[in-house]
Amino acid sequence: MMITANNPNPPRVLGGIGAAVRRVDGPLKVTGGARYASDVGVTNPAYAYLHTSAVALGRITQIDESSARALPGVIEILTYQNAAGAFDPITLFNQGGIATTTIMPLQSPDIRHDGEIVAVIIAETYETARDASHRLRITYDTRTPTATFGEEGLVEEKAADGDPRHDDISVGNAEEALATAQVLVDQRYATPIQHHNPIELYTTTVQWEGNELTIYEPSQFVVGMQHGIAAQMRHDPAKTHFVSPYVGGGFGAKAGITPRTALVGLAARRLNRPVKLVATRDQGFTIATYRAETRHRVRLGASGDGRITCLIHEGEEITSRADKYSVAGTYISARMYAAPAIRTRVNVQHADRDTPGYMRAPAEVPYMFALESAMDELSYAVGIDPVALRRVNEPECDPVTGLPFSSRSLNDCYEAAATAFQWSSRDPRPASMTDGDWQVGMGCASAVYPTYISPSFVRVTLLPTSAQVEVAGHDLGTGAYTIYAQVAAEGLGLQVEQVAVRMGDSRLPPATAAVGSISATTICSAINMGCAQALERVATAAVADAEGAFFGRDAAALMLEGGTLRHPDGTAETLELALVRLGGAVEVLADNAPPGTKPGALAGVRAGRLSFLGGTLDPQFTKMAFGAEFVEVRVHRRTREVRVSRLVGAFASGRIINPLTARSQLLGGMIWGVSSALHEATEIDHRVARYTNDNLAEYLIPVNADIPQIEVIFVPEADPEVNALGIKGLGTLSNVGTDAAVCNAIYHATGVRIRDLPVRIEKLLP
């Protein structure tokens, strides 16, 4: 695999913002020095094993524990018979943190979904606990479950739930515009169930020391977990401690509170002994969350020149009986192109399933698959090149609200990617290009992700020859440790190696969840503020010191550079000397409240509450990052095998802090996009509402041989409105649209339009 990328904003200082710094945590990770949650040593742990339900809907009628209990080394078996009433009920958002589900196991004999936890076995060893699980005999009274779309027993409800992004949209008169459209695309699209499958499994280790509760668990939201679990376990949040310094992949699956944590917490409290759980890969399919299947109807009306006159996007999503969880991505699809008339509607369908949850660009991936496929169909219907079609429909402002975009470089992305991809060599006619036995096709699609920011705290400590940044943030493998060190190095005039970053611990200054591409914007902004305040303290003391070199000068003119405090007139002093006036160190607790922060929101951050600003929630601008992705596919004439042979993505996401880690994020997202198009789907047995391919052998993901040359292009973009540093974030952007680009390329190669992911050979048979 050949990987290339440019650097849109070369660094001003060595190792500072824009520098291609290698991951500061890289050596620890490749030498095994990084301690993941389940690696943490606790004294004399007992081991938990989950026993999950064999049915999707019904009731436990009998539990026979005799054979399991008889096994030497079995310590305890938790079931509803001895654990009911142990927890407070949870809501999805209200108790601090994000609950993944309100379905709390072991509170009654009722079974709400397949794979629900029905018992927790604790033993001296993992193997004994597992053995005991296999000896547990549970009898169920079973009812026929409703698995998914198209089945009896679904209960439909509007997605609207108070989050403005989930509301239906109406602009102009879409039905009237549709009736008079010269060209019409009216199609239905579908996306499958997908599971995150982070390589690091779902683990929880709990230790009680007196009344002090410590939880080691991979997490995208340690402060939220702290408060949510404390509420659920009726424990003092000040005595609840969440630790997660390294995370082996999250993708949204580790952002929320899953039921397992409180169950392990209860076991540890009852045993008065640390308890360690590492759930199995297959259990991960039902004890955490997933991307639910979606269905769409998209209607695009256009005039003969390709101008969109109306957009109607209707979506349906599956959720559990208990929870109205939705992603409702029409708030994004409605804002992509200049449609004067727009109508959207999203409904959820309740089925006998576990509650879905956030998965990388939760709303954008499925809804943009539908829209970007429909856009490609429109390009053929009107006979306009797909790139030109986007240009023709570039909006001057947000088509829903009329607000300006803070910046929008979609067309620049298309130009950059089309040039690099050599799009002009494409023969526009479907099924016109071949290479031996292979049909060759080229397709493209747009990527988009809203730019959010949250209020946050960060502690910056400036020492004579180093600095420390402390924040309850998270590095999911993204490079967060590295870019935070870079921002601090730049702000304090140090080398990046001189900055130590501490994260992943709820006792550190509180920050928000690592979700929604919000970490870089939020935490870099807070670090930037903390560094400026630290400099101000150093400078103020320097100019006030009657015996010092800077006496009487303007404090605002002083800067820190290369470990030296300087004035533009040439006066200089080492940082070490400058800090003597302040007792040898400066400690700043920055509390960054971006414009628009609601009263109480900073206190909310301390209490583990989410606070999203920006995106489509901003009162002044619509804030989004954009990209364009181009794909070349080869489809074998006879076997119908599909190979992606080229992938080029161009992205404009504001200031790029580190082109190395940013490139990794972007190419990883595109690889996952190919996976979403060609590989991934969780299959469900409709009769019993059970996931059948709940392992990494049958849940298909791409391997190296599936992924060809990928080119990542950064399109320079300056956006002073999103935050002081102009950062838009990159965790989610490039995952959006890739699946549509693949299907659009397949259509171009073969003339076969795939509207139902994933692409399978049988769908391409004549």
Provide the H-helix boundaries in 170-329: 174-179, 222-232, 259-271, 284-287
- Whole-angstrom CA distances from 193 to 667, 676, 680, 751, 761 are 23, 10, 8, 26, 19
Do 475 and 483 form a contact (C-beta atoms < 8 A)? no
Nearer to ligand MOS, 251 or 747 (CB): 251
CB atoms inside a 10 Å sphere around CB 238: 10
Q: How many CA atoms lie within 13 A of 459 on its CB side?
A: 16
Nearer to ligand MOS, 534 or 610 (CB): 610
Nearer to ligand MOS, 79 or 732 (CB): 732
Token pair 């409904």: residue: 347
Do 698 and 420 form a contact (C-beta atoms < 8 A)? no
Q: Which two tokens stand for residue 413?
A: 């992305």
Do 142 and 58 form a contact (C-beta atoms < 8 A)? yes
Nearer to ligand MOS, 220 or 675 (CB): 220
User: Rounded to an integer, what distance in angstroms lies between the CA atom of residue 588 and that of residue 537?
Assistant: 9
Nearer to ligand MOS, 252 or 477 (CB): 252
User: Taking the complex as a whole, how short is the minimal distance between the CB of residue 441 and ligand MOS, in angstroms?
Assistant: 30
User: Taking the complex as a whole, how short is the minimal distance between the CB of residue 451 and ligand MOS, in angstroms?
Assistant: 13
- Whole-angstrom CA distances from 551 to 17, 162, 462, 558, 603 are 31, 56, 22, 12, 39
Round to the nearest angstrom and report the end-to-end CA distance of the chain: 32
Q: Which two tokens stand for residue 258?
A: 């899953």
Nearer to ligand MOS, 56 or 361 (CB): 361
Nearer to ligand MOS, 46 or 515 (CB): 515
User: Taking the complex as a whole, how short is the minimal distance between the CB of residue 511 and ligand MOS, in angstroms?
Assistant: 14
User: Rounded to an integer, what distance in angstroms lies between the CA atom of residue 678 and that of residue 739?
Assistant: 8
User: Taking the complex as a whole, how short is the minimal distance between the CB of residue 635 and ligand MOS, in angstroms?
Assistant: 31
Nearer to ligand MOS, 254 or 313 (CB): 254
Nearer to ligand MOS, 248 or 250 (CB): 250
User: Taking the complex as a whole, how short is the minimal distance between the CB of residue 513 and ligand MOS, in angstroms?
Assistant: 8
Do 649 and 414 form a contact (C-beta atoms < 8 A)? no
User: Taking the complex as a whole, how short is the minimal distance between the CB of residue 196 and ligand MOS, in angstroms?
Assistant: 8
User: Rounded to an integer, what distance in angstroms lies between the CA atom of residue 571 and that of residue 475?
Assistant: 40
User: Taking the complex as a whole, how short is the minimal distance between the CB of residue 449 and ligand MOS, in angstroms?
Assistant: 9
User: Rounded to an integer, what distance in angstroms lies between the CA atom of residue 523 and that of residue 473?
Assistant: 8
- The helix (run of H) or strand (run of E) holding residue 122 is strand 117-123
Do 301 and 177 form a contact (C-beta atoms < 8 A)? yes
Q: Letter for the amino acid at 149?
A: F
Nearer to ligand MOS, 407 or 732 (CB): 732
What one-character DSSP code corresponds to residue 179? H
User: Rounded to an integer, what distance in angstroms lies between the CA atom of residue 446 and that of residue 380?
Assistant: 17
User: Taking the complex as a whole, how short is the minimal distance between the CB of residue 420 and ligand MOS, in angstroms?
Assistant: 28
Nearer to ligand MOS, 360 or 426 (CB): 360
Nearer to ligand MOS, 255 or 713 (CB): 255
Q: Find residue 275's DSSP bridge partners.
A: 46, 206
User: Taking the complex as a whole, how short is the minimal distance between the CB of residue 452 and ligand MOS, in angstroms?
Assistant: 9
User: Taking the complex as a whole, how short is the minimal distance between the CB of residue 378 and ligand MOS, in angstroms?
Assistant: 29
What one-character DSSP code corresponds to residue 704? G
How would you list the strands of the sheet with 456-462, edge to edge?
A: 499-502, 467-470, 456-462, 586-592
Nearer to ligand MOS, 87 or 612 (CB): 612
Nearer to ligand MOS, 205 or 517 (CB): 517
User: Taking the complex as a whole, how short is the minimal distance between the CB of residue 734 and ligand MOS, in angstroms?
Assistant: 13
User: Taking the complex as a whole, how short is the minimal distance between the CB of residue 98 and ligand MOS, in angstroms?
Assistant: 10
User: Taking the complex as a whole, how short is the minimal distance between the CB of residue 400 and ligand MOS, in angstroms?
Assistant: 22
Residue sitting closest to ligand MOS (CB): 252
User: Taking the complex as a whole, how short is the minimal distance between the CB of residue 516 and ligand MOS, in angstroms?
Assistant: 4
User: Taking the complex as a whole, how short is the minimal distance between the CB of residue 362 and ligand MOS, in angstroms?
Assistant: 5
Q: How many CA atoms lie within 13 A of 293 on its CB side?
A: 24
- Whole-angstrom CA distances from 221 to 69, 189, 311 are 37, 33, 37
User: Rounded to an integer, what distance in angstroms lies between the CA atom of residue 566 and that of residue 550?
Assistant: 9
Cite the beta strand spans of 665-726 per DSSP E. 684-685, 690-691, 709-714
Nearer to ligand MOS, 356 or 516 (CB): 516
Q: Which two tokens stand for residue 67?
A: 């054979």
CB atoms inside a 10 Å sphere around CB 547: 6
Nearer to ligand MOS, 356 or 491 (CB): 356
Q: Letter for the amino acid at 144?
A: T
User: Rounded to an integer, what distance in angstroms lies between the CA atom of residue 752 and that of residue 473?
Assistant: 46
Burial of residue 402, with CB atoms counted within 10 A of its CB: 0-12 exposed, 13-18 middle, 19 or more buried: exposed
User: Taking the complex as a whole, how short is the minimal distance between the CB of residue 250 and ligand MOS, in angstroms?
Assistant: 6
User: Which residues make up the interface to ligand MOS (CB under 6 A)?
Assistant: 220, 250-252, 255, 358-360, 362, 515-516, 732
Q: How many CA atoms lie within 13 A of 725 on its CB side?
A: 31
